[in-house]
Amino acid sequence: MQITLPWLRANFQTFNRRYFDGGLPEPRYHIGRSRTRLGSLSFKRKRTWRKVVNYDYSLGMSNYYDQSEHQFQSVLLHEMIHYSIAYTGIRDTSPHGVVFRGIMDRLNRDGWDIHVTTSTRDLGNAATANGASTVRNRQQHLVLAIEMRDGHHFLSVVNPHFARELNNRLNSIPEVSHHSWFVTDDSWFNNMPRVRSLRGRRVDTATYIEKTHAMTPFTL
């Protein structure tokens, strides 16, 4: 199995409600192909005159290995435990200390398979598992589709870090009649730059309809 950004977001929201009382703000998501890290959580830190504050959380997962949905979900929960500890400011004895292990054990009693560390030795490469030899060349793209009032159409591959900023700007541009967000692994987008500003590839109406109908809608 391979995961997508909508899968990651939907499972985060489900587990946030089920295990963390809905208290974790939605982070930025990223899916990569790391061989050494199945999941990751990163954030920025600033010091105020009273305390140190963590912010700008980013949760990433790797599609390099072929895993079952249950395995991917257990990796996600591992990172969400880290997120909960960092966000609430709880002091643990180590990165996988007493607090982490206590939450991990509680979730594992609910049927999950969360570990402090997970060996990748027994995991198959997703590029060859189940004969899926083309997975290696697949990349996940966040795509912005724009329809202009003059009838022109544009498609852009957007750097996820700038998606919300661009989305807000689009709402104030009168020349834009409609815009939508999608995720896709369509190789047609592989050579397009991941933009940080409002620019993209102008396409004809038929291509625009073909591509947008084949992609998965995504809500920021």
Token readout for 180 is 């939508």
What tens digit of pLDDT does each residue of 84-106 get?
999 998 999 999 999 999 999 99
Most confident of 27-31, 74-78, 215-219: 74-78
Candidates 163, 159, 208, 194; CA nearest to 181 is 163
What pTM value is reported for the model?
Answer: 0.61
pLDDT of residue 110 exceeding 60, the answer is: yes
Pair 57, 99: CB distance under 8 Å: no
| Of residues 136 and 142, more confidently modeled | 142
Residue 131 identity: G
Q: What is the pLDDT of residues 51-66, one digit of tens each?
A: 788 889 999 999 989 8
| 152-192 tens-digit pLDDT | 999 999 999 899 999 999 989 999 999 999 988 888 998 89
